[in-house]
Copies of this chain bind each other. A is one copy, B any other.
Amino acid sequence: MPNTANDPNKKSWLPVDKNSDFPIQNIPFGVFLTRDDVITIGTRIGNTAIDLGALHQLGYFEGIPLTDDIFLQDTLNDFISDGKKTWRLVRNRISEIFDHNNPKLRENEDHKRIVLFSLNEIEMQLPVHIGDYTDFFSSKEYAANMQSLLNEGEHDILPNWLHIPIGYHGRSSSIIASGLPVYRPVGQILPEGASTPILKPSQSVDFELEMAFITTDANLLGESIPVDQAENYIFGMVLFNDWSARDIQKWEFIPLGPFLSKNFAGSISPWIVTMDALEPFRMDGPHQDPKPLPYLQFKGKKSFDINLEVDITPENGEAVTVTKSNFKYMYWNMAQQLAHHTINGCKINSGDMMGSGTITGPMANSCGSMLELTWKGEKPIKMKDGSSRTFIEDGDTVTLRGYCKNDSVRIGFGEVYNKLLPSSKKIIK
């Protein structure tokens, strides 16, 4: 079935600014609370949010096999579980409904009143219930920087890294929506030169510029997903800020990996951009040498050209863009990550989330974390108010943005932003 929604010449009857991340060629999926306090699944064109639950009740998805309540849910999991063919049918249909040549909804004021919302009338939610969350470590530049930063003088990438898309399990309960506050975590920290740790709020809260993909149900326990089919099980992508506490991480992470230094918060952008929408932005990834094992060898373009940037905005201050990177720098691609994840028969479910790992590019100003950008604090970043940052300070808002752009269309992810608040020091009653 053709992916008709990508036609670059198509225009919507809804207003779309020329720099919008959400032209009619995007049609992402999200979950929002409406002005009437109803939770629904929706999409967005320009600055208009569209209630897909209402559209479905009004019959606009006639002919597509969907259960009655598929969009009247507080997560996208069931819709994602319907599979790639259904995602495409629905996205193509939305594209038709909002095509400027189609008068059906355009001329129906009653329906429009029910279906359309301005962004200030809605409250975006986490788009999926994340059953399991895995974070990869797939940027070679980041792996090299971390090796060098954590083991003074040691610059060589670890021997397994060039063969394995290294990943580890994260904690689903820590994944939060854009806009929610993040509390500075308290944890065990080993002071410089000490042999005994102390408990205190982290002094090195960092962002990690990542993207994440959301999967559908793929396999049974014991089954593998071949690399050339893996993309069929990826619904779409979001921006992901994998908040990190570097001082807690340094003391805890040997030998079983990061734990409390990560599971205080990770935040994702609210709109899942489908792989169909990203299709025009495929490209070749970095050359892989040594050649990966056969189960990781792939054909075709599996990387994506997605511009990424991070702003830090001090409380009542002005934003500074601290880094510009690109998803294309990832050494291991998503198909390889998913093929690797299941080579042992590990079960993948609808709504699982897989983070890319920090996306660091080859330039000094394309690093995906403060740890790298300031080289462990040696090179602080200047803010517009004259202050400087080595890590994130209380009151700072960190904003990740991402978009693809070619001569005819711009497909974006919007943003994920969260403000860092002081340690809550709350304990349960």
- Measuring CB to CB, which residues of chain A are less than 8 angstroms from any residue of chain B? 131-132, 134, 137, 158-160, 163-164, 166-174, 176, 183, 185-188, 190, 195-199, 218-226, 229, 245, 248, 251-261, 263-265, 290, 293-295, 340-341, 343-349, 352, 423-424, 426-428
Contacts and interface: CB of A to CB of B under 8 A. Distances in A.
Contacts of A346: 171, 173-174, 260, 263-264
Contacts of A293: 188, 197-199
Given A223-B424, A226-B428, A229-B428, 7 more contacts: A131-B131, A186-B345, A198-B293, A199-B293, A220-B426, A221-B265, A260-B341
Given A169-B168, A173-B346, A186 B224 contact: yes
Contact of A352 (B134, B173, B176, B245): B173
A153 to B, nearest CB: 16
User: Of residues A160, A245, A265, which shows the largest number of chain B Cβ atoms within 10 Å of its Cβ?
Assistant: A160
A427 B344 CA distance: 11
A45 B163 CA distance: 52
B259 A195 contact: no
Number of copies: 2
Contact of A426 (B222, B256, B295, B426): B222
A199 B163 CA distance: 11
Given A169-B171, A245-B344, A260-B346, A163 B424 contact: no
Which 6 pairs of residues, A with B, have the shortest CB-CB distance? A257-B257, A185-B344, A168-B256, A169-B169, A183-B222, A222-B424
Given A131-B173, A224-B427, A424-B345, A256 B255 contact: no
A186 to B, nearest CB: 6
Given A163-B197, A255-B158, A344 B168 contact: no
Contacts of A224: 186, 426-428
A281 to B, nearest CB: 27
Nearest to A232: B428
A395 B171 CA distance: 34
Given A259-B168, A265-B221, A186 B428 contact: no
Given A199-B295, A256-B137, A259-B167, A344 B131 contact: no
Contacts of A348: 173
User: Of residues A137, A170, A187, which shows the largest number of chain B Cβ atoms within 10 Å of its Cβ?
Assistant: A187
B222 A160 contact: no
A185 B253 CA distance: 26
Contacts of A258: 256
